[in-house]
Structure 1
Amino acid sequence: MGNFGNLIMNENMKIFRRPRTWIMLSILALIALLMPVLLNEGMGSSEVPYWQAAITTVQVVFFLNTIFCVVIAAEAVAGEFTWGTIKLLLIRPWSRSKILASKYLTVIGFSILSTLLVVILATVMSYMLFSHSVTQDGSGASASHAFALWGYLYVDLFITLAIAFMVSSVFRSGALAIGLSLFIMFTQNLFSLIFNPVRYEWAKYVLFNNMDLSRYMGSETDFGLLGGGNAGMTLGFSVAVLAVYYVIFMVISWVVFNKRDVAG
């Protein structure tokens, strides 16, 4: 256990000793603090409930947060091959599974840290600026609503990181991992519209149609991305589908990484 702890510490040092990591975190912090200020300037503190201001801020910043986390995940494994440092890791008395696990846990740890940074700063700044809003009641925005939505956003991020980590492990290309993850982020809604579960029964099992859990906020049942019918999907169903995809992504990552010959 001590050796594994050293591995995780080593991976964290690789991430946090790079200036770009602190630049990314600083950008997230700055935007999380400025967005409520912009909302206050544009709409006035009496027009927006502070929980709604916090929700809006986190939703805006979370897109950038996902991109930054994907960059970290994409280079977790691919970077070792690019820099030729993977051989230095493999000659150590650690199994490949432990090495990959330490990298993955470090990526997840960074994503949790960056998410908490955004949520805390956005909430605190929103409270400072909008706590006296006269429209608090009946706005639909509350602590439970906010944290549920942010939880769903993190699930989307969690699955996107799993994809980036898998591509990084399989293809040893950070650029491909980042590009594919960004492609999924930008086209997720488009593919959900094309392969609508209301029209195609099999589309219920497509990854894109299950990543956005926030659509279940108003109901436990999804009534179709295009409307006009019940897609027959529930929150539990989507979580189960995502869990299956997640296991597949992790198994592929572990199998390929453990079988790969790095002698060349």
Structure 2
Amino acid sequence: MSNFGNLLLNENMKIFRRPRTWIMLSFLALISLLFPVLLREGMAAGDVYFWEAAITTVQIVFFLNTIFCVVIAAEAVAGEFTWGTIKLLLIRPWSRSKILASKYVTVIAFSLLSTILILLLATGMSYLLFSHDGSVSGSGSSASYAFELWAYLYVDLFITLAIAFMVSSVFRSGALAIGLSLFIMFTQSIFALIFNPDRYEWAKFVLFNNMDLSRYMSSGMDFGLLGGGNAGMTLGFSVAVLAVYYVIFMVISWVVFNKRDVAG
């Protein structure tokens, strides 16, 4: 366990010693604080409940958060091959599985850190600037609605990071991992419309149709991606599909990383 702790410390040092990491975190913090101010200037503070402002801010900033976390995940493994430092890791008395696990745990820890930073700053600034009397329309408890939505946003990020990490491990290319992950971010809604489960029974098993879990928040019942249809999909079903994809991504990452020759 102490050896794994040293690996985690080593990976965190690699991330937080880079000025780029602090620039990304500072940028997320700045926007999380600034956007509620811009909302405040654009509308009467008394007409907006602070949870609504916080939800809007987090949804906007989370897009950048996903991009920044993908950058960290994409270079976690690919960067070692690019810089040639992977050989220095492999000659140490650590198994390849432990090395890869330490990298993945560090990536997830960074994503949690950046996400918590956004939630705290956006909610805190919204609390200071907007009304405390009200509710989010149709949400019941506003706090529970906000945290449920944010949890679903993080699940989307979590799966996107798994894809970036897998591509980074398999192809040793940070650029490819970043590009593919961004492609998925921008096009998942388009593919969800093209491969509509209402038209194609098999489409409900497509990754893109299950990543946005927030679609279940309004009713918690079956939904059709084009609205109104019963595609036979529930929150539990989508979570199960995502879990299967996640296991596949992780297995591919571990198998390729453990078997690949790095002598070249």
Deviations 1:31-88 (A, max 9, x none): 0001110111001211111000000000000000000000000000000000000000
Q: 1:177 to 1:138 in 2, by over 3 A?
A: closer
Alignment check: 8 A CA contact 1:32 1:57 kept? yes
2:143 is matched with: 143
Q: What TM-score results when the alignment is normalised by the length of structure 1?
A: 0.98
AA aligned opposite 2:83: W
Alignment check: 8 A CA contact 1:70 1:164 kept? yes
Matches of 1:140 and 1:129 in 2, distance apart? Answer: 23
Matches of 1:248 and 1:64 in 2, distance apart? Answer: 26
1:250 is matched with: 250
Alignment check: 8 A CA contact 1:36 1:129 kept? yes
Matches of 1:145 and 1:217 in 2, distance apart? Answer: 8
Q: 1:67 to 1:25 in 2, by over 3 A?
A: same
How much has 1:131 moved relative to structure 2? 3.3
Alignment check: 8 A CA contact 1:196 1:203 kept? yes
2:205 is matched with: 205
1:174-193 → structure 2 map (5 Å cutoff): 174-193=174-193
Deviations 1:105-137 (A, max 9, x none): 00000000000000000000000001345xx14
- Percent identity reads 85
Matches of 1:62 and 1:137 in 2, distance apart? Answer: 22
How much has 1:138 moved relative to structure 2? 6.3
4+ residue runs over 6 A deviation:
none
Matches of 2:246 and 2:12 in 1, distance apart? Answer: 23
1:49 is matched with: 49
Matches of 1:171 and 1:82 in 2, distance apart? Answer: 11
1:60-209 → structure 2 map (5 Å cutoff): 60-132=60-132, 136-137=134-135, 139-140=137-138, 142-209=142-209
Matches of 2:135 and 2:245 in 1, distance apart? Answer: 40
**What runs of 5+ residues in structure 1 fail to find an aligned partner?**
none
Alignment check: 8 A CA contact 2:223 2:234 kept? no
RMSD between aligned alpha carbons? Answer: 0.9
Q: 1:137 to 1:174 in 2, by over 3 A?
A: closer
AA aligned opposite 1:72: I
- Count of residues paired in the alignment: 262
AA aligned opposite 1:233: M
**What runs of 5+ residues in structure 2 fail to find an aligned partner?**
none
Q: 1:176 to 1:138 in 2, by over 3 A?
A: closer
Matches of 2:55 and 2:138 in 1, distance apart? Answer: 11
Alignment check: 8 A CA contact 1:50 1:126 kept? yes
Deviations 1:1-52 (A, max 9, x none): 0000000000000000000000000000000001110111001211111000
1:240 is matched with: 240
